[in-house]
């Protein structure tokens, strides 16, 4: 997990995942340039390359942004989520090729520094149709660079999770900048209406899937305060409503709690993984450990601690089961505190 800071902790799944990414990138670029040079013999190789890498990176960015909300709806997509950062770094490298070739082509070999030229050659910042769209693309590329450079767990640990998370939420700013870069750039140069339609569909999918996921999260966050017993425990759900080795997520006094049912026992942990704030309650118990669906970080259900040598810990909660109903005390125990799971009859 986060101790040795290997460049990539390779396993068979990651190797297959990265191989598919690599072959996919080569196929996309190869077909775009190969078919392009056949269909359009007058097109220059630089132009085809700029467009191949630009469109490829933009399509990949859409996929990356869709994986999160879609995997909440369709858990079978979790394997895509596990190594999303590999997709992100690949997308940045494709965007970098697009940006570098564009800057060399349109801004180098003149009387200005190419980077300065990006911002000042076309100074019509007060015009919508003539706006210097390259500046927006450059800013987006800088954001993607910072994200790719800090994608490793080393930075997550050193920047702290909240800072790291906030930094990586900038991907939405980058996406907005790129959309405007496309609309005020190539769309102003008479491209096929198919591209307009594709961007419209892509944008609608990103916005729509995030709104739906947000509404679902809001539903989960409905406070359970109505049924509170004299000891302060709050009624959560029936044992039978929690699938074996899975969890029921409830929001108690502002904090999401994951109540797990495993091997005839019930245990409650904070829903927030210490790695990237992933939703532990959407994961499963694997080999006796609560396993985060995002990147596989594991915690013992009894005390919320990661197995040695790892040191991550999440808070546990007191649980009672009365007449097949699970009650959880909303006050969290300090992270790593042993809380004996409640034994129930195994179904």
Partner 1 sequence: MKWVSVLLLILISSFSFLMISNEKEFDNSTFEFGEYCTYEGIIMENPYPRILIERPGDTGSLPKYSQYYLTQFGKFGGGEMVKGLDGKKVSLEGALIYRDDQTMIEIKNNSVNHDHTSENERVFNFDSALPKKSLGIHTLKGEIVDSKCFYGVMNPGNLKVHKACAINCIRGGMPPVFVVKDQQGNIGYYLLQDEEGGAVNKNILDKIAEPLEIKGEVVKQGNILILKANPTSYRNI
Closest by CA position to 60, among listed 142, 178, 188, 173: 178
CB atoms within 10 A of CB 259: 25
Relative to beta strand 234-238, strand 325-328 is: antiparallel
Q: Which is nearer to partner 1, 74 or 172 (CB)?
A: 74
Residue 181 CB, nearest distance to partner 1 (Å)?
Answer: 11
Per-residue contact track with partner 1, 30 to 69, x per CB under 8 A? -xx--xx--xx-xxx-xx---xx--xx--x----------
Report if residue 128 touches partner 1, rule: CB under 8 A: no
Nearer to partner 1, 74 or 154 (CB): 74
Does 117 contact partner 1 by CB under 8 A?
yes
In terms of CB distance, is 22 or 215 closer to partner 1? 22
Count the site residues for partner 1 by CB under 8 A: 52
- In terms of C-beta density within 10 A (0-12 exposed, 13-18 middle, 19 or more buried), how is residue 222 classed? exposed
Provide, rounded to whole angstroms, the least separation between the CB of residue 332 and partner 1. 39
- In the complex with partner 1, the residue whose CB is nearer, 7 or 128, is 128
Q: Please answer whether residues 62 and 205 qualify as being in contact, where contact means their C-beta atoms are separated by less than 8 angstroms.
A: yes
Q: Work out which of 69, 88, 99, 185 binds partner 1, going by CB under 8 A.
A: 185
Contact status: 99 vs partner 1 (CB under 8 A): no
CA–CA distance, 233 with 324 (Å, rounded to integer): 15
124 contributes a contact to partner 1 by CB under 8 A:
yes
Integer-rounded Cα Rg, in Å, for the chain is 24
How far is Cα 8 from Cα 278, in angstroms, rounded to an integer?
19
Helix (H) or strand (E) holding 238: strand 234-238
Q: Is 130 in the site for partner 1 (CB under 8 A)?
A: yes
Q: Is 83 in the site for partner 1 (CB under 8 A)?
A: no
DSSP 143-185: HHHHHHHT-SHHHHHHH-HHHHHHHHTTHHHHHHHHHHHHHHT
In whole angstroms, the minimum distance from the beta carbon of 327 to partner 1 comes to 42
Cβ atoms of 258 and 268 within 8 Å: the answer is yes
Judged by CB under 8 A, does residue 122 bind partner 1? yes
The candidate with the shortest Cα–Cα distance to 280, out of 263, 268, 264, is 268
Can you tell me which of 106, 145, 155, 203 binds partner 1, judged by CB under 8 A? 106
C-beta closer to partner 1: residue 55 or 339 = 55
Torsion of CA 116, 121, 124, 125, to 10 degrees: -10
d(CA 272, CA 217): 14
Nearer to partner 1, 71 or 274 (CB): 71
Asked if 78 interacts with partner 1 (CB under 8 A), we say no
CB of 130 to partner 1, least distance (A): 6
Please give the Cα distance from 174 to 158 (Å, whole number): 23
Write each residue from 227 to 266 as x if it is in contact with partner 1 (CB under 8 A), else as -, in one continuous string.
----------------------------------------
Which positions lie near partner 1, rule CB under 8 A? Answer: 16, 20, 23-24, 27-29, 31-32, 35-36, 39-40, 42-44, 46-47, 51-52, 55-56, 59, 105-112, 117-118, 121-124, 129-130, 132-134, 184-186, 188-192, 194-195
């Amino acid at each position: 997990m986060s101790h040795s800071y290997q460049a990539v902790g390779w396993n068979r799944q990651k190797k297959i995942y990265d191989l598919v990414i690599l072959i996919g990138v080569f196929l996309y670029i190869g077909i775009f340039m190969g078919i392009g040079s056949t269909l359009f013999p007058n097109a220059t190789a630089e132009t085809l390359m700029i467009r191949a890498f630009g469109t490829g990176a933009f399509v990949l960015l859409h996929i990356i942004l869709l994986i999160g909300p879609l995997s909440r709806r369709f858990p079978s997509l979790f394997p895509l989520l596990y190594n999303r950062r590999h997709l992100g770094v690949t997308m940045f490298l494709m965007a970098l090729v697009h940006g570098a070739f564009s800057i060399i082509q349109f801004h180098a070999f003149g009387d200005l520094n190419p980077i300065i030229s990006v911002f000042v050659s076309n100074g019509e910042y007060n015009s919508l149709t003539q706006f210097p769209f390259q500046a927006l693309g450059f800013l987006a590329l800088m954001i993607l660079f910072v994200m790719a450079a800090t994608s490793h767990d080393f930075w997550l640990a050193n920047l702290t999770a909240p800072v790291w998370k906030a930094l990586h939420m900038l991907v939405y700013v980058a996406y907005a900048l790129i959309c405007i870069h496309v609309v005020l750039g190539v769309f102003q140069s008479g491209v096929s209406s198919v591209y307009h339609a594709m961007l419209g569909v892509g944008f609608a999918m990103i916005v729509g899937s995030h709104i739906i996921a947000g509404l679902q999260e809001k539903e989960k966050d409905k406070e359970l305060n109505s049924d509170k017993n004299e000891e302060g425990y709050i009624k959560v759900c029936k044992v039978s409503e929690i699938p074996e080795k899975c969890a029921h997520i409830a929001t108690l006094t502002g904090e999401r709690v994951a109540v797990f049912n495993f091997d005839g026992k019930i245990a409650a942990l904070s829903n927030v993984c210490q790695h990237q704030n992933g939703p532990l309650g959407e994961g499963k118990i694997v080999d006796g450990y609560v396993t985060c669906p995002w990147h596989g970080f594991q915690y013992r259900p009894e005390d919320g601690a990661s197995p040695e040598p790892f040191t991550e810990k999440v808070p546990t909660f007191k649980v009672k089961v009365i007449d097949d109903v699970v009650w959880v005390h909303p006050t969290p125990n300090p992270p790593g505190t042993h809380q004996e799971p409640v034994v129930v009859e195994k179904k």
